[in-house]
Amino acid sequence: NAGVTQTPKFQVLKTGQSMTLQCAQDMNHNSMYWYRQDPGMGLRLIYYSASEGTTDKGEVPNGYNVSRLNKREFSLRLESAAPSQTSVYFCASSSVAGADTQYFGPGTRLTVL
């Protein structure tokens, strides 16, 4: 039981390049989330998927797109990376959306030059 896994762990991009961050969970959770963590700002929600087949914007969605590929997988895509997207990205999952415990992956550290 791996919990929430994320790939890659580290990535360096040049401005304008695109990439997809992958997330998978093996806990049979319905809801999945993408956050970014910046120094002194805690975690901020980018997008979430309350259940398979649905996605919604969070607090900071601009410059990102997501795909809920199936119940297990939720990917985050940067179409044209910008230096402001340099951050640590965390994926999380929970049994249901709402006041339920979220379980976090180990994170992806992204640098955009």
Position 106 contacts other proteins (CB under 8 A): yes
Nearer CB in complex with other proteins: 10/14: 10
104 binds other proteins (CB under 8 A): yes
| 31 binds other proteins, rule: CB under 8 A | yes
Min. distance of Cβ 51 from other proteins in angstroms?
11
Provide, rounded to whole angstroms, the least separation between the CB of residue 101 and other proteins. Answer: 6
**Total number of residues binding other proteins (CB under 8 A)?**
25
Angle at 21 between CA 54 and CA 15, to 5 degrees: 120
- Burial profile 29-66: b = 16 or more Cβ within 10 angstroms, e = fewer: bbbbbbbbeeeeeebebbbbbbeeeebeebebbeebeb
**Triad 37, 66, 87: Cα angle to 5°:** 20
Contact positions with other proteins (CB under 8 A) in 37-96: 40-45, 48, 50, 58, 90, 92
Q: Nearest to residue 36, comparing CAs of 108, 113, 112, 111? A: 108
The contact set with other proteins (CB under 8 A) reads: 4, 31, 33, 40-45, 48, 50, 58, 90, 92, 97-107
